[in-house]
Structure formats: C-alpha cells, structure tokens
Amino acid sequence: MSWKDQFADAPDVLKRAPDDRIIVRAGHVALGDGGFVTMAGPCSVETESQLLETAERVARAGAQVLRGGAFKPRTSPYSFQGLGLEGLSLLARARAATGLAVVTEVMSADDAPMVAEYADILQIGSRSMENYALLEAAAHTGRPILLKRGMVATVADLLRSAQCLVSHGNSQIILCERGIRTFETATRNTFDVAGIPVLQSVARLPVIADPSHAAGVRDLVPTLARTALAAGADGLLVEVHPHPDQAWSDGEQSLSPDDFDAMMLDLAPWRELRARALQSVCALETVA
Ligand code: PEP
Ligand code: MN
C-alpha cells in the first residue's frame, strides 16, 4: 500500500502529475500560480473605522486580500457573534476603498447566497469543515472557497471535505493549515507545518497557513509565518487589528498594523528566495 492511498477518498483533489495545479482566482488575485498571497485583517468586523483603517494599512504593507468575520463561530456562545449583514456591507465598503479582495466566513447553508453577494472568497471555518450541507451550499455559490482544516481533522479528512466541494461542482478551493488540537497547551493549537508539504505534494489545490489561530499569541505569529513560507505555502491568513488589546475577538493573537509592517518586511527576503527556488524548479522541468 502506498502512503498516498490514505487520500483515496478525494480522487478529484489529488494531483494527476507533479505539475497538476489548480489556480484559484478571486478578482485580480491568483493563488497557486507560484506567487505568495497575504490575506490580513481583523478577526471580527467591529466598526467602519476599525475595518477601513486596518484595510488601508494591510493594503499598503502588501496584503492582497482583506479578511474579516461578519459571522463568528466563537468558542463561547456568550461572546460577540459578529455584525452579520452590517459586517458584510462594511467589508464591501472597505473593498471599494482599497481594491482588496474580501474573504469572510459563512456559517450556515442558508446564508451562503447572501455572503457570496458580498465576498470574493467564502471561508469555511475549522468548526464547519465537516458540515457537508454548508459545503454544498457554499460550492453552489460559485465563489472560491477557503477551506480551513478542522482542529481535530487529519489531512485526509481535510481532503475529503475538499472532495465534497468538488463533487458539488466547485474546485476553486484554497486549503488552510491553522493548527490542530494536541496535548500541547503552550500554543493555542499545534501548527502542523508538515501538513503544508504533504498537501502540496498530494493535492492540486493551493495551500495557505493561518499562523494567528495556530499560535494564539501575537509574538509567535511572524516566526510561524516565515516557517509556513519556507515549508512551501502559497500564502498566509493573518489577524491584524488597529488596537489589538481592544479587539472584540482574538486580540491576543492579532498583530497591530506596525507589527504587520514589520512581519511583511521580515518575510520579503524569504519570499525572494522562494521565488528564485520556484524559478529553478521550472527551469529544471523545462530542461527535463
Ligand atoms: C477565524 O478565522 O477567525 C476563525 C474563527 O478561524 P478557525 O475557524 O480556524 O478557528
Ligand atoms: Mn479569529
């Protein structure tokens, strides 16, 4: 039995040849074409000024996609649950102001068409990864899907959910490693860095990493981001808030705009190395 046989439930997601890659397109953004895409913004959309300030700062620092939650699956049912439709229209306003594409989470199948009217990419959160009715509704909107790995999901489980989306006619899928539950408590989740090259070697889909939810504390985010890049990720999803200590959700792991600038500067030489490495792989493929 081959190592890859464990992914056999996801036949349409698996590579048919080493260079078999699906490029995911959302507006002017492409994932999986060799570029590196940063998605950044607050965990929750809170106010117009909070969102616009964040959007302007992350765009200036080089992000291409604005992330922000309007529907929030919170750990506690008594925590802020998101602004809903009002949050979606603030995201659309921030897109108009900055040109950033928008990614936001959809939590219920009934909401999928409405969220798709506002978002360029629909996020399926960790807690929803195996909600097949939601996956079906999200797939039918025709929007690209950012599929986050469930916190107790194996790589094979993640690919099975991707297969579910493909089976409903949507193969514009971005896979996201965001940390998994283990016995370790020093970080909020355990960042499965090996999951990135595993996914890159078996799946046709672009793979990004979310160092914010993996780390749970902002000081670790830049290092995990650099690690994800070095491991072969196609991009990042990072939480940024103008005043992290006042954030309505996930403030401890959110970067300030200044922290985000510093992280993007730190990543620049690594991105350069990555681009050069990919070019030499392409050159070798051309020669071969
Ligand atoms: C989020 O992106 O804010 C989020 C809730 O992430 P996850 O589904 O990975 O916990
Ligand atoms: Mn969050």
Residue 2 has a pLDDT of: 85
Above 80 in pLDDT, residue 46?
A: yes
Give the predicted TM-score (pTM) of the model: 0.97
Give the start-to-end residue ranges of the domains of the chain: 3-287
- Radius of gyration in angstroms for the set of CA atoms belonging to the chain, rounded to a whole number: 18
- In CATH, what class is 3-287? alpha beta
Using most ligand atoms within 8 A of CB, pick from 71, 81, 105, 224 the residue to mutate for ligand 1: 105
SS3 assignment, position 22: coil
Asked whether 241 and 259 are in contact (CB, 8 A), the reply is no
Residue 286 has a pLDDT of: 63
Q: What are 213-244's pLDDT values in tens digits?
A: 999 999 999 999 999 999 999 999 999 999 99
Average pLDDT over residues 96-106: 98
Express as a percent the part of the chain with pLDDT over 90: 91
Rounded to the nearest angstrom, the distance between the alpha carbon of 1 and the centre of ligand 2 is: 39
State the ligand closest to the CA atom of 248.
2
Above 60 in pLDDT, residue 10?
A: yes
CB atoms within 10 A of CB 283: 10
Q: Sign (positive/negative) of CA torsion 136, 141, 143, 148?
A: negative
Q: Is the CB of 126 under 6 A from ligand 1?
A: yes
Neighbours of ion ligand 2 (CB under 5 A): 43, 250
SS3 assignment, position 99: coil
Q: Is the CB of 144 under 6 A from ligand 1?
A: no
Rounded to the nearest angstrom, the distance between the alpha carbon of 99 and the centre of ligand 1 is: 24
Q: What are 106-130's pLDDT values in tens digits?
A: 999 999 999 999 999 999 999 999 9
Q: Is the CB of 73 under 6 A from ligand 1?
A: yes
Residue 3 has a pLDDT of: 85
Using most ligand atoms within 8 A of CB, pick from 66, 126, 189, 238 the residue to mutate for ligand 1: 126
Residue 277 has a pLDDT of: 85
Q: What are 146-196's pLDDT values in tens digits?
A: 999 999 999 999 999 999 999 999 999 999 999 999 999 999 999 999 999
Q: Which residue is listed with tokens 């765009």?
A: 59
Residue 285 has a pLDDT of: 63
Asked whether 107 and 142 are in contact (CB, 8 A), the reply is no
Average confidence score pLDDT of the chain: 96
Q: What are 130-154's pLDDT values in tens digits?
A: 999 999 999 999 999 999 999 999 9
Residue 169 has a pLDDT of: 98
Residue 135 has a pLDDT of: 98
Residue 4 has a pLDDT of: 86
Average pLDDT over residues 91-102: 98
Q: In angstroms, what CA-CA distances link 104 with 28, 92, 114?
A: 17, 11, 12
Above 90 in pLDDT, residue 38?
A: yes
Which residues 6+ apart lie within 8 Å of 87 measured at CB? Answer: 44, 45, 68, 69, 70, 71, 104
